[in-house]
């Protein structure tokens, strides 16, 4: 049963489609969970609630933030509940993981891939489909379907990386390494950096994916000064389209190779590995080098194992290409692979980019706030059946990443009363709305800055702004003296 959620659309446009409102008037704890401090090293349980329980003991003093305004113009309040509140609300059976059930989904997705290939390979031929144009269309549909089924396997490997696949992390790692390697994903390398993302979601200095630019960074990227952004004319839609096209085509390999969209504070790496290194080509920050500042020295053998997995996959692909022809492999594997990359980037982008979402400076961030700085969306049958609910239950996943996806809907419903107004979802128009949200987020969410007039701690709570005249306008700034 699909979870019934509400949208994060602006309240001024539709007060019903905003956030979860049923619990807005209910009492919630007045303290927020402190940030879990320590090694960012990923482990099977490092992002689970149980591993963060000790953080509940330390709670920050109540701060006055004044009036905070998100991009829609809605007033924002900093979350005020704890990790323990979330954990206690979830039924215990939701934490249970099953070898049999999880593996059944792996076999199911593999069956989808095999049956689809068999049908197209044997029947979408000149003998059965004489029209070349029709065959081209049908093979295009094939690449789309295989891309969805491949993304489903990607998500199951993601479950393995979090320890949500089964009770055995060794079993999880074997399954995840095989599945991700077959999709040219460095399993352990990604597992470690992704774990750090979960430990620092929404933190401008530590998060690992889709960290937005600050106003100053945005201005520098287009050769302007920060105060000029509020005076610029609208960015052309064709520029937005080209940016989105590049993001969807090469965003994933670019992230693996250069850490694009991840934080760029590598000089702070505690072992000194980040000295002189930076994001970008040739910057020494990537997911393949054991000496990358994304990892600690003890991770080296895991990075090598990831590279070995990729080497085996490349070797298999080479021999298949030699045997069956590279044009066939391009259609059978290459184009579906691009679809997998597209869905991965689109899903991650929209989980963490929305006009209603905040980001935090290091001083104002904590774990509870970071997890709440994510959003659930709706992609219908494709999202819930083929992609295993990764789009629809992402908020819960950030709070408890070891809950298997087949229990995530129930757990999501359980935490909504605790999160109250802080739970965000955008389910308007279902799958069509999900696709539209890519364009909307690209146009509305260009950089982050504090609410205009913010003072004290409020300067550390940042919201998206843009130069396109959409939503709240950028703050007016005086030119530098």
User: Would you list the DSSP string of 207-225?
Assistant: --S-PPPBHHHHHHHTT--
Q: How many CB atoms lie within 10 A of CB 169?
A: 17
What pTM value is reported for the model? 0.88
How far are the Cα atoms of 31, 41, 52, 194 from residue 57, in angstroms, in the given order? 11, 22, 10, 26
Q: Are 181 and 337 in contact (CB under 8 A)?
A: no
Q: How many CB atoms lie within 10 A of CB 411?
A: 23
Residue-level pLDDT at 105? 98
Residue-level pLDDT at 288? 98
Residue-level pLDDT at 62? 66
Q: Are 400 and 414 in contact (CB under 8 A)?
A: no
Residue-level pLDDT at 248? 97
- Note the Cα 136 to chain centre separation in Å: 33
Residue 409 tokens, joined: 């809907």
The interaxial angle of helices 99-123 and 169-182, nearest 10 deg, is 20
Print pLDDT tens along the chain (481 aa): 444 445 444 444 433 333 443 333 332 333 344 433 333 333 333 334 334 444 443 444 467 889 999 999 999 999 999 999 999 999 999 999 999 999 999 999 999 999 999 999 999 999 999 999 999 999 999 999 999 999 999 999 999 999 999 999 999 999 999 999 999 999 999 999 999 999 999 999 999 999 999 999 999 998 998 988 888 888 899 999 999 999 999 999 999 999 999 999 999 999 999 999 999 999 999 999 999 999 999 999 999 999 999 999 999 999 999 999 999 999 999 999 999 999 999 999 999 999 999 999 999 999 999 999 999 999 999 999 999 999 999 999 999 999 999 999 999 999 999 999 999 999 999 999 999 999 999 999 999 999 999 999 999 999 999 999 999 999 998 888 7
Residue-level pLDDT at 456? 94
Integer Cα distance of 69 and 478 in angstroms: 21
Residue-level pLDDT at 231? 83
């Amino acid at each position: 049963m699909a979870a019934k959620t509400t949208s994060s659309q602006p309240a001024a446009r539709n007060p019903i489609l905003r956030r979860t409102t049923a619990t807005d008037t209910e009492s919630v704890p007045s303290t927020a969970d402190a940030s879990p401090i320590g090694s960012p090293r990923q482990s099977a349980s490092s992002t689970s609630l149980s591993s963060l329980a000790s953080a509940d003991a330390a709670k920050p003093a109540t701060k006055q933030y004044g009036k905070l305004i998100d991009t829609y113009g809605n007033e924002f309040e900093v979350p005020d509940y704890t990790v323990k509140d979330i954990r206690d609300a979830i039924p215990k059976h939701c934490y249970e993981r099953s070898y049999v059930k999880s593996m059944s989904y792996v076999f199911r997705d593999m069956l989808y891939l095999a049956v689809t290939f068999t049908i197209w390979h044997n029947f979408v031929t000149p003998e059965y489909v004489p029209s070349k144009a029709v065959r081209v269309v049908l093979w295009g549909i094939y690449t789309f379907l295989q891309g969805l089924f491949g993304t489903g396997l990607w998500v199951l490997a993601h479950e393995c990386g979090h320890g949500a696949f089964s009770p055995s992390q060794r079993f999880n790692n074997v399954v995840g390494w095989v599945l991700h390697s077959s999709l040219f994903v460095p399993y352990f390398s990604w597992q470690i950096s992704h774990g750090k993302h979960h430990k620092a979601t929404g933190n401008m200095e530590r998060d690992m994916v889709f960290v937005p630019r600050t106003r100053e960074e945005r201005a520098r990227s287009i050769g302007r000064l920060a105060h000029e952004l509020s005076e610029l004319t609208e960015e052309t839609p064709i520029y937005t389209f080209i940016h989105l096209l590049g993001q969807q085509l090469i965003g994933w390999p670019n992230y693996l190779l250069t850490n694009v969209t991840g934080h760029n504070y590598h000089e702070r790496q505690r072992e000194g590995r980040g000295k002189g290194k930076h994001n970008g080509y040739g910057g020494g920050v990537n997911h393949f080098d054991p000496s990358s500042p994304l990892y600690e020295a003890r991770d080296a053998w895991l990075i090598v194992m990831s590279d070995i997995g990729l080497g085996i996959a490349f070797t298999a692909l080479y021999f298949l290409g030699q045997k069956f022809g590279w044009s066939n492999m391009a259609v059978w594997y290459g184009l579906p692979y691009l679809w997998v990359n597209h869905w991965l980037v689109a899903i991650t982008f929209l989980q963490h980019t929305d006009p209603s979402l905040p980001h935090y400076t290091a001083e104002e961030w904590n774990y509870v706030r970071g997890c709440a700085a994510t959003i659930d969306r709706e992609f219908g049958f494709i999202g819930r059946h083929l992609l295993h609910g990764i789009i629809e239950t992402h908020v819960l996943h950030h709070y408890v990443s070891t809950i298997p996806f087949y229990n995530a809907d129930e757990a999501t419903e359980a935490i909504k009363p605790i999160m109250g107004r802080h739970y965000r979802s955008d389910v308007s128009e279902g799958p069509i709305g999900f696709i539209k949200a890519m364009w909307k987020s690209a146009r509305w969410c260009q950089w982050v800055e504090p609410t205009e007039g913010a003072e004290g701690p409020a300067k550390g709570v940042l919201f998206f702004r843009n130069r396109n005249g959409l939503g709240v306008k950028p703050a007016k700034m005086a030119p530098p003296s």
